[in-house]
Each structure stands twice: as C-alpha cells, then as structure tokens.
Chains A and B, each alone.
Chain A
Amino acid sequence: MIYKHQRIVFWVMVGCIVLMATLLFLERQRGRERILSLATQMPLDAPAASTEPVTLDLANDSDGSIHAEQRQMALPVEMNARVRALLDQLIAEYSLPGSTHPLQQGSAVSEVFLLPLPVVGYTANTSAPARVDGESPASTPVAGASPGTAAVNPGGELAVIDLRSTFVNQHPSGVEVESLTLLSFVGTLHANVPQIEQVRFLVDGQPRETLAGHADLLRTYPSRETATVVTAGGAQ
C-alpha cells in the first residue's frame, strides 16, 4: 500500500525533474545561439596578408658571386619579425636541393634587435655623490667612442642578429663560404630594410669570434649592396 504522502513526494520529484529538464533545454538553446552569433562575426578564413616584392641576395659558391633575385613574400608588419622572416627565407632557399650555397635546413635566427644609431652606453658618473649603501653612483649615457657608430641618415639603425648555435655549428667552414653567408645577410637587409645601416652578429646571445673558424663575427658590418649580379623575376 502506498501512502498519500509518498505519492505527493513522488509527484513533486517528477515535477522537479521536468522543470530541470526544461531549464537545461532552454540554457542549451541560449548557449547555442550565443556561439552561433559569435561565429557569424568571425571570418571564415584567416586574413590573407598581401605579398610584396622582396630582393634576396643569394650566394653562389661556384664563382663566389651574389645574385640579387626578386621574390614575392608575405612579410609581417613588425620590423623585427620582418627582418627575421627575410633571413629565414634566405636559409630556406639555401636548404633547397640544388642550392648554389647549400646550408642546413632550419631556423638560423633566434632574435633580431634594432637599435637606433648612434648606440649609447652607460658609464659611472663619478661626480655624483656615492650612495649610503656603498654601491656605485649614478650612471650617465655616453655616445659610442668610435665615429663609425653614428648614423649616416636620420633614423639609421643597428641590426643585432642573434644566430642560433645549431645553425652556426653546422655551417660549412671556409673563408669564401662563410663570407658569402654574411654578405648575403647584409645585402638582403640593405635591399629590403633601408633604415638598417649597420649589422652585428651574436650567437645564442653571446659574441663569437668567427662563424665557422674564418669569417669575423665580432666586427660591425656596414649595410651595403653586396650583389654582383641582379636577376629579375623568380617564382615563389
């Protein structure tokens, strides 16, 4: 025999279940509508960056020449990323089968830093009163000692290119092959990023004497045209 109060509890529970099911259904519908409304605001495809013509100074080991060739590339707007993309494209070209300057595949550039010229440093300001804790007094900015550190044009910049040690350690050794790689970098930056007036190289954030035993990585390279042959066209 089922008591009355048991029947009441049963029907109350059935009512709660129906109510909760209805609430869940409605919430689901509202959530779906919200997602659909967001989806309609999103583009169906990734925004397509427009390509632009770039000049790559490509080295040729057989005759020691550098060919300037045109390519169409989609480049980032941000300048550091742009420089890095240009150099990565160079390495990608060199790692293709049949390359005239074969290099290992992979990313060569870890970071690119663009510094306005002249590069200033900091020196201890001896005229400033010493601090109570005995630490060094204030420092003041000083211009670079060498006249070569000044910008030739207003807005001139120094590009510091931090190479990956994996790239440097696998680079072929030899005066010509190493020089061609550096000149190829310098010439490509000169052609595409005119505000870069000087180029320096680091390896894993540290100065290194040579690329692979020969080419000087400690000096500052003036940005200049390095191509000995100019070739129009070229597919990408």
Chain B
Amino acid sequence: MQAPAPSTPLAAPVYGPLNRNVIVLDAAHGGVDSGSRIGDSTLEKDVTLALAFRLRSLLTARGLTVVMTRESDAAQKPGPPPAGGSALTLDDRAGVANHARAAACLLLHATGAGEGVHLYSSELDPVPAEAAVLPWMTAQAAWVTQSEQLQARLGAAIRRADVPLVSSRASVRPVDSLTCPAVVVELAPESDDRNSITDGDYQQRVAEALAGALIFFVRQVQPPLLLPGDHAAGTAVQP
C-alpha cells in the first residue's frame, strides 16, 4: 500500500494594502476650470466643493479620515515653486487618491441636466487580481468589482433618501486610473428648478445618504487579490 503523498500547504491569498479608515473626495474642477454652468449663476466647481465639505464633516464625525484633492477654489500641488502651487491635473488627482490606498474614492461632479443623483462606475472590464505594476490608463480594472459594490450600496442609500437615482457606467477622467473602489457621484437638481441644486437641505440629505453608505462599505470592502509573486501592491505607472 502506498503512503499518501504529503500535502503541500496551499498558499494563503494575499491582498493589497487598504486603509479602511481613509476616504478620498475629489471635488471636480476648480480654479479656471469651472466645469458646467448650472442655472444662471451657479458653477459646477462650487457645487462639488460644497458637497465635498458636507461629506467631509459627516465622515470625520464618524471617525474616518478624509483626503480631499482640493479644499479651496483651485486644486494646487503642495510644495515650493515651480512644481508647488501649480494647478493639479486630473492625473495628479488620481495620484493623490492612489497614494492614500483609500477604502473608497468619490469623484464629485454636478450637472443641471436631469434630477437627483447620478452614479457612474468605470466602463473597464474587471480583472480578477491586481498586478504589482499597473498600466495607468486601466489601473481601475482590478477594482471594478469593488467599485460596482460601492455603487450599489450608494445607490440603495440614495433611493432610501427619496432622491431620484440614475446608476450607470461611464468613462470619466480619471476614474480608470484609480486603485481604489471608485464611483463618480454627479449631483443634479432635485426638481425642474435648476437652482435647487444649491439648496442646503437637499445637499445635506444627499451627503448624509452617501456618508451612511460609505460607513458600511468600508467595513466590508475586500481589496483585490495580488497576482502570485507580486508582493508590492498595485502601483499605477503613468505612461
């Protein structure tokens, strides 16, 4: 009788680092880039920043660390000139988010078209594991599944708040370069009146719904597996 061969222990799955306590908020546009014009005198960059401040307050009150890509009108690079002080590009914003290894990244936009909240996740096809070095333009591919989970949770919270919801997929710069669960949140007016987008109560209701969903999400999110042999977690490389 042949003795059974000694079983080789299965290698435990290895996950990339993830800071469950960190949320990245990217208030889109800023400075000379005012985004779309909503109503007579409302600019997209102002609405996104106002919503980001409301979200930050709610999230920090719940013990989370919030990294914002801009906290004033213009997003500027830190440090001394000439690099410091210049405007952040979209790739710079993705770099800020990727360095944080955040549990969730929200890209905040605003529009005068439609009603309620529009949620978009990346259009990239998902890949099952994260390589050590990722192509910059498709770094999000390993995180698409987590992004869709975040989108579903945010969408459920928005519906519970009685706010109209549109949930879809879209290629919005720089979401495809992010190595975190990432969703584009586009705030639209609550009603036919475009100026309702600046209504404080409406923005607060949306922010509370988003914050509540984020709290639950960061506890449950699991980062993608690292490819065997890759010990350094996904570093997105710009071309």
**Stretch with Cβ within 8 A of A (4 or more), from B109-117, B192-200, B214-222:** B109-117
8 Å CB contacts to A: which residues of B152-169? 166, 168
**Stretch with Cβ within 8 A of A (4 or more), from B53-61, B72-80, B170-178:** B170-178
B29 x A175 contact (CB < 8 A): no
Chain A contacts of B109 at CB under 8 A?
174-175, 214
* Closest chain A residue, CB of each to CB of B29: A213
Q: Provide the bound-state CA to CA distance between A173 and B168, in Å.
A: 18
Contact of B170 among A62, A172, A179, A212 (CB under 8 A): A179
Query: How many pairs of A and B residues are in contact by the CB < 8 Å rule?
Result: 71
Q: Does B33 sit within 8 A of A, measured CB to CB?
A: yes
* Closest chain A residue, CB of each to CB of B110: A174
Shortest CB-to-CB span from B89 to chain A, Å, is 8
19 contacts between A and B (CB under 8 A): A62-B114, A64-B114, A64-B168, A146-B135, A173-B37, A173-B44, A174-B186, A175-B170, A176-B113, A176-B166, A209-B90, A213-B35, A213-B44, A214-B173, A215-B170, A216-B173, A219-B137, A219-B176, A221-B171
* Closest chain A residue, CB of each to CB of B90: A209
Given A174-B36, A174-B111, A176-B113; A215-B172 close (CB under 8 Å): yes
Q: Provide the bound-state CA to CA distance between A221 and B171, in Å.
A: 9
* Closest chain B residue, CB of each to CB of A148: B138
Give the interface SS of chain B, mostly helix, strand, loop or mixed: mixed
Chain B contacts of A213 at CB under 8 A?
28-29, 33, 35-36, 44
Contact of A216 among B111, B113, B114, B171 (CB under 8 A): B171
Q: Provide the bound-state CA to CA distance between A100 and B33, in Å.
A: 27
Chain A contacts of B113 at CB under 8 A?
61, 172, 174, 176-177
Contact of B172 among A146, A172, A214 (CB under 8 A): A214
* Closest chain B residue, CB of each to CB of A214: B172
Chain B contacts of A221 at CB under 8 A?
171
Q: Does A14 sit within 8 A of B, measured CB to CB?
A: no
The residue in B37, B112, B168, B171 that gathers the most chain A C-beta atoms within 10 A of its C-beta is: B171
Q: Provide the bound-state CA to CA distance between A182 and B171, in Å.
A: 10
| Interface 0/1 of A130-148, CB less than 8 Å to B | 0000000000000000100
Q: Provide the bound-state CA to CA distance between A173 and B36, in Å.
A: 5
A175 x B184 contact (CB < 8 A): yes
Chain A contacts of B118 at CB under 8 A?
175-176
Q: Provide the bound-state CA to CA distance between A179 and B109, in Å.
A: 14
8 Å CB contacts to B: which residues of A187-233? 209-210, 212-216, 218-219, 221
Shortest CB-to-CB span from A203 to chain B, Å, is 14
Q: Provide the bound-state CA to CA distance between A78 and B222, in Å.
A: 52
8 Å CB contacts to A: which residues of B97-129? 109, 111-114, 118, 120
Given A174-B111, A175-B184; A219-B36 close (CB under 8 Å): no
Contact of A175 among B90, B111, B112, B137 (CB under 8 A): B111
Q: Provide the bound-state CA to CA distance between A212 and B36, in Å.
A: 8
Known: A172-B36, A179-B172. 12 other contacts (CB 8 A): A61-B114, A173-B35, A173-B36, A175-B118, A175-B184, A176-B113, A177-B111, A210-B90, A213-B33, A214-B173, A218-B173, A219-B137
Shortest CB-to-CB span from B175 to chain A, Å, is 8
* Closest chain A residue, CB of each to CB of B184: A175
Chain A contacts of B171 at CB under 8 A?
179, 182, 215-216, 219, 221
Shortest CB-to-CB span from B91 to chain A, Å, is 9
Contact of B173 among A61, A62, A209 (CB under 8 A): A209
* Closest chain A residue, CB of each to CB of B120: A175
Counting from the closest, the 6 A-B pairs by CB-CB distance are: A173-B36, A216-B171, A174-B111, A179-B170, A216-B173, A175-B186
B111 x A176 contact (CB < 8 A): yes
B44 x A216 contact (CB < 8 A): no
Chain B contacts of A175 at CB under 8 A?
109, 111, 118, 120, 170, 172, 184, 186
B173 x A210 contact (CB < 8 A): yes
